[in-house]
Structure 1
């Protein structure tokens, strides 16, 4: 009997455990399934990391907003938050205060352009923070869109080999055909297993990044307005 037929018919009727289906599958189908399993593990690692990151960022924004709007001195707040690694609103605040202090401590005779420079450094810092939040989300999007097709490729390959085995054995009994078809369809199942969580969490995380970005952008505008008023007061003094 042809070797392909022997492989396809090796599994006894009714032997449909996932492990047995994997081991009896063609080598190409095995590679596809292993790749999809690896992609799924990678996605879940990203999902856990991003869940922790976004929860931590939300708590940091809440704490900073509470402290900032409590009426504390900007100098004292700057001293407090600049002593440690800062992200989110704290990073925007530090960037703006550094530019503010650089102008005054440098003995600048004119305040012209200070407001624009503050806006620019906060925009750059905001872009950097959003990029940090979005990092590796593209992996989820890529896996979510491509995994079903990769799994389908494995299925098509497996079914082609099953049909070759059927032709070689000249036996179309369901007990003979079913194991080979099941092995092939397992690749599609792994593709969906990788894609569904990736798509769901990508959409969830994209929404969270949008909300966090909007909060930081709102703070940036408010703080820029506060500093702009102080600049105008010092100009008129």
Structure 2
């Protein structure tokens, strides 16, 4: 009546259910490790980038250093906004440039935020599906095992508990494995969803502040006879 013994004597359908649930549980923990590590790295890179951004230096210089090949979400948002601002200010002039540039910059940064969040949220669907489906998959194995137990009772014409107990135990073991896979998946999914929402809000806040800086520079560039100054956070 050991756990290994219950697994070995189970029907092949119940064994398949157990193996699938165990593999799903391992993959859940692998996803959790990868996601928490990625988020911790992304937050550290965001802190370092914001320090450089608000240091008062030229954003043109910051764009030359990091914007051409961004390697983290905040740099990607900055690069998208700066690149669109440069294109728009070089192509337009006057009041039409102000309205059009602001809209295009915001759209470019919004699309980049969405793309970066999709990358960070990759494989989150598996956690949600495991959390919702694993108990029912385990229950299927349990029902199948209990059906086999009742079949054994009918064929042996013996209702002694010692006869049916192993079959019932292995059937309930499938439900236990389903819960082992589902409970961590639900908890991890909720934690990651909360952390990802906070990170997305932080990127949106940065994009709004950066967009305000570029909007003021665009208005200054649209004034007659005035060249576009290099954008800098000191304008805040």
Q: TM-score, normalised by structure 2?
A: 0.89
1:144 corresponds in structure 2 to: 131
2:30 corresponds in structure 1 to: 45
Q: Unmatched 5+ residue regions in structure 1?
A: 1-15
After TM superposition, the runs of 4+ consecutive aligned structure 1 residues lying more than 4 A away are: none
Partner Cα separation in structure 1 for residue 83 and residue 181 of structure 2: 45
Q: Give 1:142 deviation, angstroms.
A: 0.3
Q: Give 1:173 deviation, angstroms.
A: 2.0
Residue range with higher mean Cα deviation, 90-99 or 163-172? 163-172
Residue range with higher mean Cα deviation, 165-174 or 184-193? 165-174
2:172 corresponds in structure 1 to: 185
What are the superposed Cα offsets for residues 121-160 of structure 1, whole Å, 9 maximum, x if unpaired?
0010011011111111010000000000000010000001
Partner Cα separation in structure 1 for residue 31 and residue 25 of structure 2: 10
1:89 corresponds in structure 2 to: 74
How many residues align structurally? Answer: 221
Q: Unmatched 5+ residue regions in structure 2?
A: 227-236
Partner Cα separation in structure 2 for residue 167 and residue 51 of structure 1: 52
Partner Cα separation in structure 1 for residue 169 and residue 37 of structure 2: 38
Matched, 1:223 2:203: no
Matched, 1:122 2:109: yes
What are the superposed Cα offsets for residues 159-211 of structure 1, whole Å, 9 maximum, x if unpaired?
01011102221222222221111111111011001101100000000000100
1:32 corresponds in structure 2 to: 17
1:73 corresponds in structure 2 to: 58
- Does the 8 A contact of 2:93 with 2:222 survive in 1? no
SS in 2 for 1:171: coil
Partner Cα separation in structure 1 for residue 110 and residue 177 of structure 2: 42
Q: Give 1:86 deviation, angstroms.
A: 2.4
1:135 corresponds in structure 2 to: 122
Q: Give 1:87 deviation, angstroms.
A: 2.3
1:199 corresponds in structure 2 to: 186
Q: Give 1:83 deviation, angstroms.
A: 5.0
Partner Cα separation in structure 2 for residue 125 and residue 131 of structure 1: 10
Question: Structure 1 pair 169/221, CA: closer, same or farther in 2 (3 Å)?
Answer: same
Q: CA RMSD in A?
A: 1.3
Partner Cα separation in structure 2 for residue 196 and residue 138 of structure 1: 15
